[in-house]
Amino acid sequence: MDGPDVGWYLIVAAILFGIGALGVMMRRSPLIVLLSLELMLNAANLTLIAFARQQGDLDGQIFALAVMAVAAAEVAIGLGLIVAMARRRMLLDVDQASALRG
Amino acid sequence: MIVGAWICLVAPLAGALAITLAGTRISRTTAGWISTLTTFVAFAGALVAFVGLWAEGHGDREHLSTAYTWLESGDFQVELQILLDTLSSTMMLIVSGVGGLIVWYSMGYMEGDEEERRYFAYMSLFVFSMLMLVQAGNLLLLLIGWGLVGLASYLLIGFWHSKPEAVAAAKKAFVMNAIGDVTLALGLVLLIWETGTLEYLGVFEQVDGLSTTTVNLVALGLLGGAVAKSAQIPLHTWLPDAMEGPTPVSALIHAATMVTAGVYLLVRASPIFEAAPDVQALAAILGAITLLVAGVIALVQWDIKRVIAYSTMSQIGYMFLAAGIGAYGYAIFHLATHAFFKALLFMTAGVVIHHLGGEQDIRKMGGLRPLMPRTHLAFLVGALSLAGIPIFSGFWSKDGIVAAAFASGDTLGYTLYAAALTGALLTGLYTFRLYFAVFHGKPSELVKEHSHDGQREGPLSMLIPVGVLGVLATIGGLLVIPGVWEPFLHWIDETAEPTVKATVGQDYATSAIAVTLGLIGFFVARRASAAGRQIVTSPGIWRVLEHKLYFDEAYDALFYRPAAAISVALRRNVEEPVVERSLDEIGTGTLQVGGEVARVQSGLLRTYAIAIAFAVCVLVVVFVAVR
Amino acid sequence: MLTTALILLPIAGALVVAILPLPRETTAGLAFLVALMEVGLWITAATQFDFDDGGLQLGTSREWVESLGISYSVGFYGFSLWLAGVTVVVFAAAVGYAVWVGRDRSRAYHALMLFLLGAVVATFAAQDLLLFYISFEAMLIPLYVLVGVWGGERRQAATVTFVIYTMAGSLLMLASVVAFGVTERTFSLTEGITSDNVWIFLGFAVAFAVKAPLFPFHGWLPLAYREAPVEVAAVLSAVVSKTAIYGFIRIGLPSFPEPAADLSGLILVLACAGLVYGSLLAFRAPDLRGVIAYSSMAQMGLITIGVFAFDDLGLDGAVLLSVAHALVSASMFLLVGMVERRCGTSEIAALGGTARGRPTLATVVLVAGMIALAVPGSATFAGEFLIMAGAYDQGWGYSVVVALGIVLAAMYTLRVISAILHVKPGHAVRDEALDLRAGELALVLPLLLILLGLSVWPALVSESAFAGSTIAELLP
């Protein structure tokens, strides 16, 4: 098998995932939160593909495609929400959107 | 022959269905004719069956005919089958014959009632049910007939359903009969487990192999049913109240046929009762008690129909006594003659009530003899027969029972004998108290008011059946003349062999005593009537008797009120506080817990994300640690 | 295939009714037509059914989730075919009644009713535990909505109690289903696999006890039966409650022979308690619906006694009485609905005297009432007698309790009959209140005719419920 060992890929993916997770937890702008979410998903994708290559079958790649589709759908909804918030002239701050508080 | 029996069974059912389905498309008279004619068709069928049976040889007179399997479960089967033997053919003749006459009579009596069609449908239903009862070839079918006659009785007692008393009486009759039904059913359950069948013949074959306890319990179950249906103490209180129904109903159901079903059962199931002699003796004792108690209570009643109702209870007491000591032939013989003269008494009472515009209180009657000569004659025939005066039918049947009690010997037999003779005196007293109060003395205001209505005593459809029954009540007893001519007894003996038989000497000696007592009753009643006083003079005793020995009050206090109280108490103390409120508490509890937990839901997305991340970390640690 | 069609037809009907933007009357008519077609389909199934064969018939089986041993497996035994038959008939009458009174929000209402029908039939047909569970739960959703939206004044409370009770039962059952599947490695009911785990059995038993309901799990019953629309109450007491009996017979006894035998004493005592308790409460309930609700509970206790008598007589009696009681209680509820429409109330004190001048109503109420109180000769009587005889196997005391129940039934049923028909008209009965109309009669009469037919020949059901099989070799 050519190329770096699978462990390297996993390290990169873990770093990506950590950045994404921290972003989701710490940033208040919904746009950044969404970006961070994408980062996490792509970290997962990277892992899937890395393992797929190591195992030598296509299942992981197919799954990655499915994740990408889901991610695209999610971004569409998320952006839609952000636009709707902007239209209503709400502050673009996720902490303000707490109507679901129990 | 067997076809005749089936026709006998089906014809009244067809009548009931036809009237129900036709509804208002047929006139009231047509409904009456359908009911009358189908009942007479049934009588013709019964006659065919009887003649066919008569023609057969001695010992062959037992036919079982099966239509189909009514109920089946595993190995247990109950078939819709009829048993034609000497006993059932006799009962078929009585039920359909007397029934036909009374339905015919009803056409006159009920004329003008706005719900005549419903009445005739019920009457036909009753005749069908009663025939089912007596023709049934197994005990479950008997129980079905048993329940259906109870249903018909309920419907007919409560026929005038806007009268609260009638509805209450109907419900009371049904519930008391339901008690009898279930004891009977419990007896059958025991039989199923012990013998595996409910067919009479199959059960009777196996009776000897059963343990004493089993047989006693089965017999007790059957006796419970018989006591309830035949209004014997202690399940008798419904019968007097049942007089709220139309008078022909009282004649047919509460005198001639249904209430005697208990006697039929005692005779039909005689092999079971003979295997349980204690229970059989209990039947005789209950009969004796009833015949005395009812006879005494009849002395203080003012309602013409209630007097006759108590007399019915008393006479059925005689039949129970007879069946209890094993004189089956006489039990059925008295059943037959009683059907004639008691139906006659009720129907003449009905003519009187009809004539007086519905009045039933004998204090408002009197002096009717010159105004209603034919009715008077018929009533007199019934009264003489009831009191057991010679020639008339009741004489032959009742005295036979009394003599048999003597012949059965030992202390019990002599006690029963004494009771039966006392009963003869009581019968004479209450019968003629009623007779003199209604037909003699000065005409009351009410009678005068109605006496210029015209000469007719009633429509022909009422008078002809009365006449026929009058003739039967006069000569019907001649089927048994002790020592000379006893075809009726021999006929019944083929099905139920008696265990006791009085000698001819005992018979005639007993008759002499009984007739004397009956005549004493007559003269005492006449003197009392002439002097304008009552037979019971002590006001204390009068009050106790007027309350019917407080049976109703006792049952009310013992059963009805506790049941109602338990029901209300259960609702107040269990259903509402525990079951329903527990639910409220579950509800509020859930809400509270929910409120506490809801605080965690801050609505801040980031805290959620942190929580998830934290949870994932914990899980990872757990998995690693576990591995 | 027929079995699948029986399940799918009403569900498809529900979809069509819900989606097609038809006018209100057309929607209702379409729903009624689907219900009638379902009856026709059942008759077809019955003609193809061999009633002498005690095995599974009209069966279909497809792998569903192979790795977990879940399959779509349906079919009928004799007794379940009868229960399904009575279901389709009762539903036809109930949907017909809803059409007659013109329920509002017609599309939603009829879609839910048809969906409910499909779910009940599926419950009676399911031969796989998971499928059974799904169908059992699927009945609840439409019921919640039907009671909560179309019910009476206190419908919210009624729905909430109903939800709490049934959800609690369902969760226990789900746990049991999963536990059974995990321990026995299959969800199939046709392979004759048994478990001797008492706890798994208890999970099922509690779910069924809530659904029946048995004492003391009946807390939801009075409110739900009082507040639901009458035809929903009819369906609830007539057929939905019978799924519990079916569960006991199909799952409780054959899959858990030992636990069922061990716990039969407890269940019998509860059933007896329910019989007496329900009867006594029915005897003093202030309204018609209350009487029928509690009497229904009493009858369910009686049927349960029959099931746990562990012999042929009791089991056949239980099926016979289930079928008869379904028809009786549906007719009684529909009749109460008709009386309520005329008088605006079902308070016994405010009713009475309707027999005068209303012969059809009087006759129909009387016939239904007489069969309800099990007058000897009726199909209900045949069932009760068999149960009484069967219960003797477990002890004479049970037979005596059954007998007591029969007497009490006479008392409370006569009270209902008299309350509607007899004595003076109550203050809620106006003179212009009509006799039964032809349309109403056409809904109740078929139910009563079937009952009368069964009364003439109860062996039709009792003999074919478990043809040729004795209790020892029950199912499958």
Interface contact flag, A98 B603, Cβ < 8 Å: yes
pLDDT of residue C123: 94
Identify the closest residue of chain B to A102 by CA–CA distance.
Answer: B598
| Residue where the block lists tokens 């008299």 | C418
pLDDT of residue C476: 43
pLDDT in tens, C254-312: 888 888 888 989 999 999 999 999 998 888 888 899 999 999 999 999 999 999 988 88
Q: Which of C411, C416, C429 to mutate to test the interface with B (most CBs of B within 10 A)?
A: C411
- Identify the weakest region by mean pLDDT among B72-86, B452-466, B504-518, C261-275: B452-466
Q: Is A3 on the interface with B (CB under 8 A)?
A: no
Binning pLDDT at 50, 70 and 90, where does residue C360 land? confident
Interface contact flag, C403 B564, Cβ < 8 Å: no
pLDDT of residue A15: 95
Integer angstrom CA distances of residue B77 from A41, B73, B206, C259, C319: 73, 6, 17, 31, 17
| Residue where the block lists tokens 């092999």 | B271
pLDDT of residue C473: 58
Chains that touch A (3 or more CB pairs under 8 A): B
Q: Quote the tokens at residue B372.
A: 């209603």
pLDDT in tens, B32-83: 999 999 999 999 999 999 999 888 877 788 888 888 889 888 788 888 999 9
Rounded-to-integer distance, Cα C243 and Cα C187, Å: 19
Which H or E run contains A82?
helix A59-87
Rounded-to-integer distance, Cα C365 and Cα C370, Å: 8
Residues on chain B touching A96 (C-beta within 8 angstroms):
none
Interface contact flag, C376 B189, Cβ < 8 Å: no
Residues of B with a Cβ under 8 Å from any A Cβ are 597-606, 609-610, 613
Given A25, A101, A102, which is nearest B609 (Cβ)? A25
Interface contact flag, B189 C389, Cβ < 8 Å: yes
Q: Is C381 on the interface with B (CB under 8 A)?
A: yes
Residues on chain C touching B193 (C-beta within 8 angstroms):
389, 392-393
Q: Is residue B578 over pLDDT 80? A: no
Which H or E run contains C75?
strand C70-76
Interface contact flag, B605 A26, Cβ < 8 Å: no
Q: Is A97 on the interface with B (CB under 8 A)?
A: yes
Q: Is residue C469 over pLDDT 70? A: no
pLDDT in tens, C411-447: 889 888 888 887 777 777 777 778 888 888 899 999 9
Rounded-to-integer distance, Cα B201 and Cα B308, Å: 37
Identify the closest residue of chain B to A30 by CA–CA distance.
Answer: B605
Measured in whole angstroms, the distance separating CA B407 from the mean position of its chain's CA atoms is 29
pLDDT of residue C156: 83
Binning pLDDT at 50, 70 and 90, where does residue B483 land? confident
CA of C73, closest CA in chain B: separation in Å? Answer: 29
CA of B547, closest CA in chain C: separation in Å? Answer: 25
Interface contact flag, A102 B600, Cβ < 8 Å: yes
Rounded-to-integer distance, Cα B332 and Cα B200, Å: 19
Q: Is residue C474 over pLDDT 60? A: no
pLDDT of residue C61: 86
Binning pLDDT at 50, 70 and 90, where does residue A2 land? low
Cα angle C303, C307, C312 (rounded to 5 degrees) comes to: 115
Higher pLDDT, C185 or C204: C204
Residues on chain C touching B76 (C-beta within 8 angstroms):
312-313, 389
pLDDT of residue B502: 83
List, as own/partner pairs, every contact residues C396-400 make where C-beta atoms lie below 8 angstroms and the sequence separation is at least 24, other chains included.
Answer: C398/C268, C398/C272, C398/C305, C398/C309, C399/B186, C399/B189, C400/B186
Quick one: average pLDDT of C322-331? 94
What part of C 8-67 touches B (C-beta under 8 Å)? none
pLDDT in tens, C137-180: 999 999 999 999 998 888 888 888 888 888 889 999 999 999 99
Binning pLDDT at 50, 70 and 90, where does residue A66 land? very high
Chains that touch B (3 or more CB pairs under 8 A): A, C
Q: Is C395 on the interface with B (CB under 8 A)?
A: no
Q: Which amino acid is at B113?
A: D
CA of C26, closest CA in chain B: separation in Å? Answer: 34
Rounded-to-integer distance, Cα B295 and Cα B430, Å: 7
pLDDT in tens, B295-343: 999 988 888 999 999 999 999 999 999 999 988 989 999 999 999 999 9
Q: Is C135 on the interface with B (CB under 8 A)?
A: no
pLDDT of residue B539: 81
Given B601, B606, B613, which is nearest A101 (Cβ)? B601
Rounded-to-integer distance, Cα C151 and Cα B509, Å: 79
% pLDDT > 90, chain B: 36
Q: Is residue B359 over pLDDT 90? A: no
pLDDT of residue B285: 93
CA of C373, closest CA in chain B: separation in Å? Answer: 10
pLDDT in tens, B97-113: 999 999 999 988 888 78
Quick one: average pLDDT of B443-461? 74
Interface contact flag, A98 B602, Cβ < 8 Å: yes
Interface contact flag, B606 A24, Cβ < 8 Å: yes
pLDDT of residue C470: 56
Interface contact flag, C463 B190, Cβ < 8 Å: no
Identify the closest residue of chain B to A28 by CA–CA distance.
Answer: B606
Residues on chain B touching C353 (C-beta within 8 angstroms):
162
How many CA atoms lie within 13 Å of B285's alpha carbon, on the beta-carbon side? Answer: 9
Q: What HEC string does B202-254 produce?
A: HHHHHHHHCCHHHHHHHHHHHHHHHHHHCCCCCCCCHHHHHHHCCHHHHHHHH
Which H or E run contains B436?
helix B410-439
Residues on chain B touching C375 (C-beta within 8 angstroms):
147-148, 150-151
CA of C258, closest CA in chain B: separation in Å? Answer: 23
- B361: helix, strand or coil: strand
Higher pLDDT, B380 or B196: B380
Integer angstrom CA distances of residue C123 from B544, C87, C170, C233: 63, 11, 14, 19
Q: Which of B606, B607, B610, B616 to mutate to test the interface with A (most CBs of A within 10 A)?
A: B606
Q: Is residue A1 over pLDDT 60? A: no
Quick one: average pLDDT of A69-93? 87
Higher pLDDT, B292 or C436: B292
Q: Is residue C12 over pLDDT 90? A: yes
Q: Is residue C347 over pLDDT 80? A: yes
Identify the closest residue of chain B to C399 by CA–CA distance.
Answer: B186
Which H or E run contains B491?
helix B487-493
Interface contact flag, B610 A25, Cβ < 8 Å: yes
pLDDT of residue C114: 95
